[in-house]
Each structure stands twice: as structure tokens, then as C-alpha cells.
Structure 1
């Protein structure tokens, strides 16, 4: 019997040994071919093992999950625009605080330094200080001082439109990724860049930005001794900073991670904290206000000597208590822009995973020779492939023009096709269009009703007020648990 087992044992050991040759692990060897990664002798195919996304400056990790999105209190406005429904949000990152005046001043300083003669670009980025004007109030001191005076440096920037906020997110993405490459020694800081030579993440990844090479450039394993640009597959550059979707914002604001027992939600919330009131219920801080808002008509901050929330207008961005995700002022202080286009009936037909209204699909524009095209500021120019902001928007008949199916090729090509907000006379309704965006959170001039994350309002994306600001978000790549 032993003699018969010896050959079988030898064969088994040989098979196990051969399997280990192709195991791969993280030792730089392919588990499917046995060829080595990052080896010039094998062609230099590159693979970065063990990727873990770094948390970008100012951000907090928000672990995703399922939650009931929508109103949890009586709809006293009778808008019926946020019916409760269960959705799932993927893990992402969000700014710990609202974007501050000092942050926006840094943005303006960069524009003025890089484009000293482009007054139009600088003026387009300026916050509208005139939002502080009120025909029946003396708000001139805020108009003159709120944005630029150091007394308000850590207060949330206001007077910025949705469009301006989106442009800031793009700029911040580029500055953060440029700094990463400089810190890694891939690039050298270049303060002389101007116009199309300015670093943008997209132009760099597409080989259109050269810059000044640093003392630690990326090695090109396919060519002995050569260097190359950082590629997306290196995992070194961060995803884009952007405005959060409405679902992401509401999920992060509720912070229900603090109210769970396994998969059991122990308590739902009206506000970003437990309880049905806006005062702290902890023994040590009992009675103190949880957010900056209006307690009653004409009561912006309480009586002298016993101020309730302590601030007449906005407050510094780290005021009050953070929610269970560590996010400050997710209720009160300023309302915040989100990505979504506003539709009152959006909740009746939306995705269960990552719900969002406002998709516009694009592709990079190329010239006759097939080369990517850039604008005067170094950004890649895009063409719109499809604009689906109005996908399944309203009833079927509202998408028909001259007895023609709106989804037909003819209707798609006709840019004048009607939508549900256009009358037969060809006049658009004045309030709800494709340029209207959602904002949430309540502000220093709102009643507690609007502090609930389920509340939603809307405004034209090109307008601004003295009580709307924003914070940025970023997509999380990889495991939802962020390596926990």
C-alpha cells in the first residue's frame, strides 16, 4: 500500500508546486500567466498592488449604505416633493465643513496670479456681495466686509451660484492633484504656467501638460531608464472634487451610522442629531442650540446676555456639534447646493442605487486630425453625447410634439422639442427648468422646519443669495469599507 501511495503523493506535491507558480499574490507576478509585473525583461506591463485611496484635503470618509430618503415630518408646505423611499448610496467623501471665505479668496488669488490680464475670468469668479442688500435693512457692513475682512475668514462663503461652485470644484481638483505630483517629486512647482500651459488633471492624464519634471519621475518599465507621465492606473491622482448629489448630501447629513445596532436602525432622525428639538439634550450641554437658525419672528440670536445660537448671521464653519460622521453645520448656518436638477416628482421614478437627476453625458472634442482640443484655460473641450435631465419627466404625452414620439431620431435632433414645462404657446414656465438646482440644509435666516435633511428647495443655477453656500464631495474608489 505504501508503494502505491508514493507516486500519488509525488503527483500531488507536483500539482501543488505548479499551482504556487501562478498564485500571484502581491509579489509582482500574474496569477493567470505567471509573467512578472513591472519587469522590463517581460515587456514592462505595470501593476500597482494594494491600492488604498488617500483621503483628500478637507474631506471626511462617509461609509455608504441603505437608508430611507425623504421627509420624516409633516409637509406643511404641501410640496409633496420628497416622498420617503429606500435607496442605497455608495461610500464617498465629503468636506468636513462648508467652503469658507478664506478658501474662496485663495481661489481668486490663484486666478489673478495665473491670468493677470483676464478681468472677465476673475469677475466671473467673484462672489456677489450685493446679495446682502435689503431694501428695509442696514446690511451695508456685510456687503463691504463679509467676504474680504479677516473677521469673517472662517465663515462660509455666500453669494456664489451653483455654476460658480461647480467651477471651484474643478479648480480644487487640479490644485490638489498638482500638489500631489509635486510632493511625490514627479513635477516641480511651476509658478510661471499660464493659459493653456496651466495644469489640469484631464490635460495631464491625456499627455497635453508637460510641466517641469521633478527629481523623482515615474519610471517607464517598458523602456530601460525612461520616464513617463503618471497614469490613471497608478492610483496616485485623486478623483474629482464635486458637489454632492442630493442623496449623498441627505445621507451624510442624517449621520445614521450612530443609530444602528447591526443592521437594525434604532432611531430615525428629523435633524442631523437625535430628538425632535433643536436644543442639545446632553446633560453637560442641555438647552444649548444645535444649529444656527431663526427661533421665531425677529429672533435671530436671542437676548443680550443669553444669546441662544450666538450668531446674528452666519457662524464660523466649525461652530456647534458635528454629526455622527464628523460633519459640521449640516443643519443651519447656510443652505448648500447639491448637484441635482430639481423636479417635484423626481421621487416617483428614480434609481434605487445612487439616485441622481441631472446627467449630461459628454465626450472629449477632437479636431480634424483626431487631436484633443483645449480651451484658453487648458481645459479639455467636451461635446454633449446625451442630455437626460428630462428622462421620464412627466407623463408620456408631455414629451410628444406634433404627434411625433419624443424618443425618435427626428425628435432627438430637434433642439426645440418641448418638455413638460413648456406651454403650447412656446413659453417656458418661469420657475422650473433644466437650470434649476436643489439646495438643502436650512440657514441662519430659516425656521427649524428647513433644518431637516429631508427638506428640499430650488433656485436657478446662476443665482446667488446671502444664505446659500456649499461643500465639496468626492467619489470613493474600491471597497465600501475604505480598508476598515
Structure 2
């Protein structure tokens, strides 16, 4: 017993000697200083209080949007709507990850006897150098056969992203490679014509998991019961350019808007609310995967869709009681120039300088540096639509989420809308599983802390 007491005393002496807090309560200090990093292409919205809702004599509109003072926390917001080019990066990543996974799995299966499979050598899983593995990695691989991602089809094995994927069918290196490509990504032969083999976009699915924190906080149970799985087809619905209109020739937009590089900087459309949410998850993963390669333990806050209150606060650009992001009350400047892309007069869509959408960075930004918060495309928000939202929602960071309510708020108006829908206080909605040729989105990210000097 005396030996144990002596060990405890020595440990206390050693600990006290190694500390310079002089026995005072100083709190736990982090090894490195935290500075909020502004994501590329985003601007800081400082947060604060504002009068939300209809402030004009719009009796019908004010029934579901009565004025009230609410407060939102600081956050980052995309300067522009997500463009075709940016969303295409998401689609290509999903496509390439599916192909690389199938090539690696097939190579591993067919070369079990030690004989490499022709044409698949460059796509095998990367060998993990055990001499460079951490004790955690060794334990996880030996015990679970995974680095912790039990849901991954690769079970923690790393894909080879350096080898280029061959897409030209006339250059496929082997029959084995052809078999994988045809079965995993290309359309069936019955759906091909003119000898062209096209990618089956229905197979471009992004699977992710998330924790339903609100349900977990309000209900008891194991954490695993609140982990949700989502499988989302990521390719935008290009047919919206045809289906949204009857007796109208919009075939060129259906054929080229997402595909052709001429529209790279235009806002992506034809995406559902779930696809926009999936993009946010992927963008978070993309950044955190990069930080992991740099051995950085800090993970970025989730990219997400803005709440309805955040969107309106950002759209106002700090202008109190404004009708539009630029103030108002008119949609034209003092020189008669239109300030947004919308439908100014009946049937004359192009009088404002554009027939359909325009490039995401067009017209003048508002005072927060945000482009096209009115017009161009309407934007998905994270909030469910309810006529009672403004009455039941909190006045601090309000967001009415109803899991069974599939009507989601869209804001800002679009190229096909009249000026009323461009007003910063006008509410509209669309069903979460619906894609339109006039709905896109932009993302936000929480600003951690309240010190805005580090922007």
C-alpha cells in the first residue's frame, strides 16, 4: 500500500513540475490556434437581426409571411449559384469512383490465384505499407478488415486514382476491362443506337450516411438507430427543358445545357432537393479528405443548404425593409437597365438581356457580394414549407423542418418568373423529389465562433 501511495505522489510531483499554471484553473488549451478559413468562392455573412417577412401591402402574401424580428448566426455563403461546371465535378467523381471500385474488385476476385488480370493491373487496390501503418490502422485492419468504414464496398482498401480511366470503347485494353465497363457503367445494348455506347446515368448513385441529430437529441436509444442511409442518383434531369413546357421547342437546352462547355458557368438546374443535399455532403467529404491527406485533425463544418431565414437575411444584403436585393422598389436602374434576369413582360423573356438563364456571376452583386439572389434560378433552401412557419418558428435561427413534409421552400425567383417572385420576402415551394429547369441552389457553411475579425 505504501508503494502505491509513493507512485501516486511521484506522479503528482512530475505532473506539477511539468505544468506552469501555478495550480490555477486555466482550462484546456489546444495545441494549435483556430482560425476560420473562408471557403473558396464563398463570402462571409456576418449574421445579426432583421425584420423578416412581407413589409408591403401584400395582404395575401403577408398571411403566411407576417413581419417579425429574427436573428441568424454568422455563416459563409456561395457568391453564386452552383454552376454546371461545379456540379459536373460531383457527377464525375461519382462516376469515376464507381468505375474504379468495380475494376479493383473484379481484379481482386479474378487474380486470387496470383495471376494478374489483363488490362486491370493499373486499377488494383493500392497495397498498404504495413511499416508505415499506425497502431490504430493495424488494429482496425487485423480486427475488422477495415479502417472504420464498414459501409464501404472497398472495406477500407484504397483505390488507385492515378491511373487514367479509358472511356473510348475502341481503346479498351482487354475483354476483362470491357466486361467491367459494360456491366458497371454503360447502357444496355438494347438502349444504344448508331453504334454509340453511352453511360447509364441511372447508375451514377451517391451513397452517404448521416446522423439524425434532432431525433437523437429528442429521443432515447442507441446511436446506431439514428444513423440514416441515403442513395441518390446524382445526374441532373436534363429532360426538364422539355417536360416543363408544352408546345415549345427547347430541345437544344435539353441536349446541351448540362453537357456542353459553353454552359459551364451557368447555374445547374434539373436537380432535386435531395440531389442538392447530396452535393453538400460530397463537398464536405472532398474538403475533409484533403485535410486527412495533410494529417490535419480539424474537420470543416458541413456544407449545407441555407435555411429560409438565412437565405432572406443574405439576400437583403444588410438593407432593412428592402424589396429587392438592390433595394428597390423597381427592377430597373435609373437608366432603365434591368437589374436581374426574370420575365419583365408577357412573352418577352429576352428584354432583360437573356432568354433562359445567364452566367452565375452576372448583374451586380448585393452589398454582401452575392450574385443573382433575385432572378436567374430559384434556389432550394433547407426549410419545409408551411403556412404556419412564421408563427411557430423560433426567432433565433428559425428553421421549420418536417421530415414528412415534402414541400421545400425555394427563394429568389427565376428567369421565367415575374418581378413579384424576385422580392426578398416572397415565399414559394416545390416538392423535394421534383426537378425544374428554373430551380438551382447554392450552399452555406457555418462560421464557428462569433469573432468575425478572422474573415
Q: Is the 8 A contact 2:53 2:62 kept in 1?
A: no
SS at match of 1:102: helix
SS at match of 2:400: coil
Aligned CA distance change for structure 1 residues 172 and 121 (closer, same or farther; 3 Å): farther
Tell me which of 428, 434, 441 is aligned to 1:463: 434
Q: Offset of 1:74 from its aligned partner?
A: 3.4
Aligned CA distance change for structure 1 residues 349 and 153 (closer, same or farther; 3 Å): same
- 1:97 corresponds to: 80
- 1:254 corresponds to: 316
Q: Is the 8 A contact 1:29 1:35 kept in 2?
A: no
Measured in 2, the distance between the counterparts of 1:173 and 1:30 equals: 39
- 2:331 corresponds to: 278
Tell me which of 317, 324, 328 is aligned to 2:367: 324
Tell me which of 229, 236, 261 is aligned to 1:127: 236
Measured in 1, the distance between the counterparts of 2:382 and 2:49 equals: 20
Q: CA offsets, 1:28-79, max 9 Å, x none?
A: 9775846999xxxxxxx87135311101122110000000011123336557
Which 10-residue stretch deviates more, 313-322 or 114-123?
A: 114-123
- Do structure 1's residue 344 and structure 2's residue 387 form an aligned pair? yes
- 1:48 corresponds to: 31
Aligned CA distance change for structure 1 residues 278 and 52 (closer, same or farther; 3 Å): same
Q: CA offsets, 1:179-233, max 9 Å, x none?
A: 2343xx32xxxxxxxxxxxxxxxxxxxxxxxxxxxxxxxxxxxxxxxxxxx54xx
SS at match of 1:104: helix
Which 10-residue stretch deviates more, 155-164 or 129-138?
A: 129-138
TM-score, normalization: structure 2? 0.64
Q: Offset of 1:300 from its aligned partner?
A: 0.5
Q: Offset of 1:482 from its aligned partner?
A: 4.2
Task: Show the 5 A alignment for 1:56-75.
Answer: 56-75=39-58
Q: Is the 8 A contact 2:384 2:400 kept in 1?
A: yes
Task: Show the 5 A alignment for 1:83-482.
Answer: 83-116=66-99, 117=184, 120-122=202-204, 124-133=233-242, 134-182=245-293, 185-186=294-295, 230-231=296-297, 236-256=298-318, 259=319, 268-281=321-334, 286-302=335-351, 309-358=352-401, 389=402, 434-482=405-453
Q: Offset of 1:289 from its aligned partner?
A: 1.1
Give the 4+ runs in structure 1 shifted more than 4 A.
Answer: 28-37, 76-79, 118-121
Aligned CA distance change for structure 1 residues 29 and 289 (closer, same or farther; 3 Å): farther
Aligned CA distance change for structure 1 residues 122 and 76 (closer, same or farther; 3 Å): farther
Q: Is the 8 A contact 1:250 1:453 kept in 2?
A: yes
Measured in 1, the distance between the counterparts of 2:48 and 2:61 equals: 29
Q: Is the 8 A contact 1:91 1:480 kept in 2?
A: no
Uncovered stretches (5+) of structure 2, i.e. residues with no partner: 1-15, 100-183, 186-199, 206-232
Q: Offset of 1:105 from its aligned partner?
A: 1.1
Aligned CA distance change for structure 1 residues 31 and 437 (closer, same or farther; 3 Å): farther
- 1:210 corresponds to: none
Measured in 1, the distance between the counterparts of 2:283 and 2:429 equals: 25
SS at match of 1:175: helix
Q: CA offsets, 1:306-357, max 9 Å, x none?
A: xxx2110000000000000000000000000000011111111211110001
Measured in 2, the distance between the counterparts of 1:327 and 1:64 equals: 15
SS at match of 1:173: helix
Aligned CA distance change for structure 1 residues 114 and 454 (closer, same or farther; 3 Å): same
Q: Offset of 1:114 from its aligned partner?
A: 0.6
What is the aligned residue count? 311
Measured in 1, the distance between the counterparts of 2:368 and 2:89 equals: 27
Q: CA offsets, 1:384-438, max 9 Å, x none?
A: xxxxx28xxxxxxxxxxxxxxxxxxxxxxxxxxxxxxxxxxxxxxxxxx611111
Measured in 2, the distance between the counterparts of 1:93 and 1:441 equals: 18
- 2:191 corresponds to: none
Measured in 2, the distance between the counterparts of 1:32 and 1:315 equals: 64
TM-score, normalization: structure 1? 0.61
Aligned CA distance change for structure 1 residues 324 and 113 (closer, same or farther; 3 Å): same
Q: Is the 8 A contact 1:436 1:459 kept in 2?
A: yes
- Bigger proportion of residues as helix: 2
Aligned CA distance change for structure 1 residues 434 and 29 (closer, same or farther; 3 Å): farther
Aligned CA distance change for structure 1 residues 483 and 465 (closer, same or farther; 3 Å): same
